[in-house]
Amino acid sequence: MTDKNLYILGLNSAYHESSACLVGNGEMVAAVEEERFSRIKHAKRARINNPDELPAKAVDFCLKEARITIEDVDYVAYSLNPAKRLKNMEIPDTVVEGDWGSIQGEQLFYNSLMKIPEKMREMTDTVQFYWVDHHVAHAASAFFVSPFDRSAILSIDGIGETTTTWLGVGEGNTMEVIRELQYPNSLGFLWEKMTKFLGFTEYDAAKIMGLAAYGNPDNYYSTFLKFVTINEGFTIDNDVMKFRMEDYSELEELFGKKREKGEPITERHKDIAAALQKVNEEIVLNLANYLYEKTGSENICIAGGVGLNCVTNGMLEERGPFKQMYIQPAAHDAGTAVGAAYYVWCSLLNRRRTYVMDTPFTGPHYSDREIKAVLDRSGLFYTYVENIEEKAASLIAAGKVVAWFQGKMEIGPRALGNRSILADPRNPQMRAILNEKIKHREWFRPFAPSVLEERAKDWFESNPPSLSARFMLFAFKAKESKKEMIPAVVHVDGTSRIQTVSKEFNQKYYRLLREFEKVTGVPLVLNTSFNSREPIVCSPQDAVNTFTRNNMDYLVMNNFLVSRKKKG
């Protein structure tokens, strides 16, 4: 074993955010989401009959990155356990026949899952296959790649097998569950159902988080407490929510008429969103206090889709009991591929932990030669610029919108400086320009700043945790003396979802921020994902396609500066 690399392939495709991760001798080789290759958001919709639609392109990339074939993989770890779901599933009285929760639907789901090890055996007959409980995979994705030897662990999402919330403690190579909450007590599903009630899709929780800042939570908080009980955990009355039904009758009695897509957003809708956010914060704070009491640890690791709620994370950093936090940058289901692989390495094989996931840059990267070939075919005018950071900073300072494509692609829902659109945070019109003309999204959606790590405390109220703040996972108040200087990245409630950037985290992006500060005196830029109603761009061709379809002024790929004009 010592003279051969031991490879573990982690897979996630049970619901959405299909992904793959390859670990070699305990080090991460690659981790990537299928949507970046397929160009289909979330890779696929969660259906009862499609878990066996494996992330083939993501797997292919991981293997190529290691220069191996599937025959060289020793273990495959999948981030859902069908036997556990079948054992624990309770069939409710009210359910759509043939869908989630029904006998027929659950059998279809189980059958689809059981095709996965068969498919792997068709590719290679030497690999060992493991099912990893979904929330165990989430927990492992945070703790086993964290800098902590011992930590409390919190995983919250919609549902795994039947677990919705997992509380535990990790030490060394082991994790121990302290408590699990079961369906229908699901904070993730509460967000999904209320997001649909407010006229969006179940995948649009981030929009509701943005909308919440415009509302008054006190107008509907007590209404939520009629069916949500907050204690050391929480319970949700499914007679009201009807999670697996397209039935909003009970919610309409409590909150008024459901908003339909395209209808105006009113003060009532803003207040409901604000109250939902407050419920989320109170539940997470109570769970954190419970974990602190049970574990005595000063550290907490967080994963699960609810872990992407930046306002809640900022609140927990300020009001919570823990001194240090680590949040998986791909806290949603994509991260379970990482967790499944590291659960096998750490817990099942009992191998030493050596890897800390201090970077989200685990995806594809492209050479100058590959980029130049795409640009030559595009017909766009481009030049090679030695000091591209200085040039890009001067363009941004002059009010230009610059698409920035560098190095390895990020994993997770946030662009963190390698597949980003950058703009001047000082321009009060920039938010409207980006929302309307480039991102083509709702007016109330905020934009985030990337800030030099050593300067963050000068511009924002909290001194953010050094590691997870690099993943754009915390919202903090902008300082009163500074917020009028950066209106494009301060939300209506005075907060900013900041990303801190250090030299060791991303040297090229750090230099750009330093150059922008030299020109403007402001050590931050507006950073939003390089996409437009599509997955974040992956390849140079994706970048050119999105650039030419939208109203960005310049595209920078490695050191190539691309303008909108065509070659003569």
Catalytic residues: 16
CA distance to 125, 329, 466, 502, 507, per residue, from 455 (Å): 54, 22, 12, 10, 16
Classified as helix, coil or strand, 361 is: strand
CA distance 42 to 44: 5
Q: How far apart are CA 88 and CA 160, in angstroms?
A: 11
Cis, bond preceding 425 (omega within 30 deg of 0): no
Rounded distance, CA 286 to CA 135, Å? 19
Q: How far apart are CA 419 and CA 527, in angstroms?
A: 10
DSSP class per residue in 137-148: HHHHHHHTTSS-
CB proximity list for 39: less than 8 A, separation 6 or greater: 534, 535, 542
Instruction: Read off the amino acid at residue 235.
Output: T
Q: Bridge-partner residues for 28, per DSSP?
A: 23
String of b and e for 9-24 (b: at least 16 CB within 10 Å)? bbbbbbbbbbbbbbbb
Q: Which of 490, 452, 359 is nearest to 30 (CA)?
A: 359
Q: What are phi and psi of 322, to 5 degrees?
A: -90, 145
Give me the phi and psi of 115, to 5 degrees please: -75, -20
Spatial neighbors of 382 by CB under 8 A, at least 6 apart, are: 375, 560, 561, 562, 563
